[in-house]
């Protein structure tokens, strides 16, 4: 008889909230806490980062890219997965060929950071849009 072992949950933290954002130094130090407490991932998705939300089509300044790359390397060196959460603000309003190309380009740039996880988030959206769920499926 086969005995099924209890699966270990994949636990992590998503920095995806309103309010005071963490500094890059705090994010760096937080990796040790996650490792010491048997978490497996961290996802960078602060609502205050406009380059992941309202200004998602734009690139981060080079300094921010460098800080994110250091975080990716640090988390991965501790055996933790590092992710990014992209919430392409109002892309659902006009998901035409330009928006599709913008999204492909952004995802390519995010993947170049070497992340393990990439989330496409549809939070904080108006719920009164016709066929919103169908559009979200098309986007993914």
| pLDDT confidence of residue 29 | 96
Please tell me the total count of domains within the chain. Answer: 1
73 with 28: CB under 8 angstroms?
Answer: no
Residue 5 in any domain: the answer is no
Quote the domain boundaries for residue 55.
12-139
pLDDT-derived band of residue 4, with 50, 70 and 90 as boundaries? low
104 with 63: CB under 8 angstroms?
Answer: no
**Closest C-alpha to 42, from 70, 64, 11, 87:** 11
Residue 7 in any domain: the answer is no
Residue 4 in any domain: the answer is no
> What dihedral angle (degrees, nearest 10) is formed by the CA atoms of 23, 24, 27, 28?
-140
**Closest C-alpha to 49, from 110, 139, 117:** 110
- The percent of residues above 90 in pLDDT, for the chain, comes to 66
pLDDT-derived band of residue 139, with 50, 70 and 90 as boundaries? low
Q: Write the CATH number for 131.
A: 3.20.20.80
Q: What is the model's pTM?
A: 0.87
The pLDDT tens digits for 81-91 are 999 999 998 87
Residue 78 in any domain: the answer is yes
Residue 119 in any domain: the answer is yes
């Amino acid at each position: 008889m086969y005995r099924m072992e209890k699966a270990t949950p994949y636990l992590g933290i998503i920095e995806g909230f309103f309010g005071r954002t963490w500094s890059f130094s705090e994010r760096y130090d937080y990796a040790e806490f996650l490792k010491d407490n048997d978490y497996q991932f961290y996802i960078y998705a602060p609502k205050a980062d406009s380059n992941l939300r309202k200004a998602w089509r734009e690139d981060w300044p080079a300094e921010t890219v460098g800080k994110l790359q250091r975080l990716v390397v640090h988390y991965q060196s501790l055996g933790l997965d590092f992710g990014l959460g992209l919430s392409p603000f109002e892309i659902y309003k006009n998901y035409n060929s330009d928006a599709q190309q913008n999204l492909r380009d952004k995802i390519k740039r995010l993947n170049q950071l070497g992340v393990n996880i990439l989330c496409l988030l549809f939070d904080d959206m108006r719920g009164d849009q016709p066929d919103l769920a169908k559009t979200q499926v098309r986007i993914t």
